[in-house]
Amino acid sequence: MTEATIQIRPLSPALLADFLAFFDGTAFSDNPKWASCYCQCFYEDHSVVKWSERTAEQNRALACTRIPGQAMQGYLAYSDGVPVGWCNAAPRNLLHALDDEPTPDADIVGAIVCFLVEPGHRGRGVARQLLEAACAGLREQGMRIAEAYPRAAGGSAAENHFGPLALYLGAGFAVDREDDDGSVQVRRAL
């Protein structure tokens, strides 16, 4: 497939309706069991919240609170004015699911934790453009390191929701750590 003409916009209160339209619409058309997430998982402290019990309504309501309060960050990809992709990227300190793995440089680390590209736009460079925008945006916020957590052997789009390892390696990230569960931590200086 040829690379799509895409516009990337940082998530803002003005884009709440677009975010919801994407997540309510085509985002999970090929993986409906994840449609309840609304990309809230990493914003939650999993020692307090039992994620498996959260409903779509609860997560959607949290997105509707977090986005206007700018307590949720990320990037939307648009094709012809319609959202077709999403990347959740934020300062690590906003992502409480990572609190159980403290790092001494957390104040300068931006974490990239999720990619979602609607099926009709996959394989056309959307994720790469989202990653570039995420790294630039994190740098603008004063982050000096970008960190992500792909699966070493992710195969399906669902398994690659953290972003494919090859995507990160192609963008200058290097493997920082490999875990027994098949996840890899990659980092890149910003």
Structural contact between residues 43 and 168, judged by C-beta atoms closer than 8 angstroms: no
Domain 7-189 maps to which CATH number in 3.40.190.10, 3.30.1330.10, 3.40.630.30, 3.40.50.2300? 3.40.630.30
CB burial of residue 72 (10 Å; 0-12, 13-18, 19+): buried
Cα 21 to Cα 38, 48, 81: the distances in Å are 11, 29, 12
Amino acid making up residue 16: L
> Looking at residue 59, what is its pLDDT?
96
Tell me the average pLDDT across 139-156. 91
pLDDT above 90: percentage of residues in the chain: 79
Q: Domain-by-domain residue ranges, the chain?
A: 7-189
pLDDT (mean) for 93-116: 95
Cβ partners under 8 Å of residue 36, min gap 6: 54, 55, 56, 59
Tens-digit pLDDT profile for residues 59-81 = 999 999 999 999 999 999 999 99
